[in-house]
Copies of this chain bind each other. A is one copy, B any other.
Amino acid sequence: MNRSGGRAADQLRVVEITRGIAPQAAGSALIRTGETRVICTASIAAGVPEWRKESGKGWLTAEYDMLPGATPTRRARNRLDGRTREIERLIGRSIRACIDLSRLGSNTIHLDCDVLSADGGTRTASITGVFVALQDAVQTGVQRGLWQADVLTCAVAAVSAGVVRGASLLDLDYAEDVSAEVDANLVMTDRGEWVEVQATAERGTYSDAQLRELTELGRAGIEQLFEHQRQALAAPRG
């Protein structure tokens, strides 16, 4: 199986994470993985949603969208289709695994992931990138006296994997994704435990053995993504 750019089956695309792209947001980052680019911001709002008020806890929620120019054929705005809602829910669930909402006070953190260029893996890139924006927003909240730094309890990152023409591959680009038999989205903490495993047969079906192959590829890839997050956060906020 020849991959674009000569990548190995278990090799990530080039990753680059830049902090501070949206200077008025509490935290922000631009993540690039190959030709995929996602603008990630984290905003802090006083108060929590109505249904959450009696809990005494804070809240964190995520939204995801594509900019119209992110794809070769322009995509109309505001297409709140099922896929978009599914991705938003996945991002929110995944990031909530690394934050202790009971220590946030009566505050809500809004995460926004807006795809600037889509070449496969936008939902997993969103999770990996928005965690960096969140880190900065958490720091902003600490500076404003809203909470302590220990509200973050772990790091979270995500990657895709899939079966293409019988081969299990890490980090599919768009061309690989559309021809994949199985498509998996994998989310893990930096303690090596799963937050979410979703493996979908787009055509045909898959065996227990293939499921294991995909999760092992994902585990190795996510470990590298944690390193990219750490480097981004070591650089100045920009």
Count of chain A residues with a beta carbon within 8 Å of a chain B beta carbon:
60
Contact partner of A205 among B81, B112, B117, B189, CB < 8 A? B189
Chain multiplicity (copies): 6
Decide if A85 is an interface residue (CB 8 Å cutoff).
Answer: yes
Chain B residues with CB under 8 A of A85: 81-82, 85-86
- A interface majority secondary structure: mixed
Contact status B206-A194, CB under 8 Å = yes
A69 engages B41 (CB within 8 Å): yes
Q: Residue A45 contacts which of B74, B82, B189, B202 (CB distance < 8 angstroms)? A: B74
Residues in B neighbouring A211, C-beta threshold 8 A: 194, 197, 215
User: B191 to A24, Cβ gap below 8 A?
Assistant: no
* Interface bits A81-93 vs B (CB < 8 Å: 1, else 0): 1110110110001
Are A67 and B197 interface neighbours, CB within 8 A?
no
* A48 interface residue per 8 A CB criterion: no
Given the known inter-chain contacts A89-B86, A215-B208, please indicate yes or no for A39 contacting B67, CB distance below 8 A. yes
User: What is the distance, in angstroms, from A124's C-beta to the closest C-beta of chain B?
Assistant: 15
* B residues near A45, Cβ cutoff 8 Å: 73-74
> A200 contacts which chain B residues (CB < 8 A)?
93, 195-196
- Given contacts A24-B35, A197-B199, A198-B199, list 15 more A-B pairs with CB under 8 A: A22-B37, A25-B69, A25-B74, A39-B69, A68-B112, A74-B112, A81-B85, A82-B82, A86-B86, A86-B89, A114-B114, A195-B200, A195-B201, A195-B205, A198-B198
